[in-house]
Amino acid sequence: RWNYWRKKKKGKAMIEKTMETTVQLGDGVKMPLFGLGLFSSAPGDETYNAARYALEAGYKLMDTAAYYANEESLGKAVRDSGAGREKLFITTKMWPVDYSDPKAACMDSLKKLGMDYIDLYLMHWPGTDAERRKKVWNAMLELREKGYVRACGVSNFYSEMIEELISDSGVVPQNHQIELHPWIQQRKMRAYCAEKGITVTSWGPIFHGHLSEAPLMEEIGKKHGKTAAQATLRWHLQQDINLIPKSVKKQRIIENAAIFDFSLDEEDMRRIGELDGMGQAFTFDPLVYDGEGRPPRMDPKQKGLL
């Protein structure tokens, strides 16, 4: 059930979203639809300041990971802000190097964050070992049962990998975080997740930093008196896709949140839809990458993406 209010327009009910809009992850857990991504934000002042700017701007969702090495900086920003832990939603992730001891990995993240629980804990990368994935997933579910995490999910998985987890544990992941933007619209994966009741979060929503290579977004943004980035983020919002744009600049963080006062029309959405598959994917291939080093980027037309 969405947290929204409705208004009438041309005889149709329009769903209006705000910074307070949430999605249901099940078990009473509500996740904000919009938040701040901290990928590649340097630990220390850069992450601390970015988080403080976002909290001051009304952000409720903060997305970090053990791999980012900035959990401690985020935790300090939350405490110093006085925002109130219970009013925020914190996502963090476990990287493959820690899969041998999931509980220790979770405890380490909690210690660095300075928190008693994690709202959403994700398996950051599937790795190449199916049996290991199952063991890690079951360990995460135990952490949820013990109250260390409120919801469990995955990131960068193929649908077949998710099916393996469900078949083994009988439990469906509550969220799937994937690369998703107008170049890589993930229609097949989104349809699969919708069928299973899995919410979807987009990482790299603003073309993973390559927005200038998509001039259509600037054109559409200008049409609405908005920036190309704001038009791109609004595209996600109108499709109920959780999004976590990353920035460390105060003005950009504020601008990214100014997407709740306009709407893209059907023609805008159609034209953006035509960008699907026209650019490169920025993630690695889950079938061959095990979390170490930097292998070649994957072909966006590979199974599971387009």
Supply the residues annotated as catalytic. 68
Distance CA 48, CA 109 (A): 16
- Nearest C-alpha neighbor of 61 from the set 244, 246, 258, 257: 244
For the beta carbon of residue 296, count every other beta carbon within 10 angstroms.
Answer: 9
- Look up residue 71 and give its amino acid: E
First to last CA, the chain: 28
The token duo for 167 is 């078949």
Helix (H, G, I), strand (E, B) or coil at 62: strand
- What are the beta bridge partners of residue 177? 155, 201
Helix (H, G, I), strand (E, B) or coil at 270: helix
Distance CA 142, CA 202 (A): 26
Helix (H, G, I), strand (E, B) or coil at 217: helix
Distance CA 58, CA 75 (A): 17
- Look up residue 277 and give its amino acid: G
Distance CA 30, CA 241 (A): 14
Structure letter (DSSP) for residue 184: B
The token duo for 248 is 């460390």
DSSP characters over 12-50: EEEEEP-TT-EEEEETTEEEESBEEE-TTPPTTHHHHHH
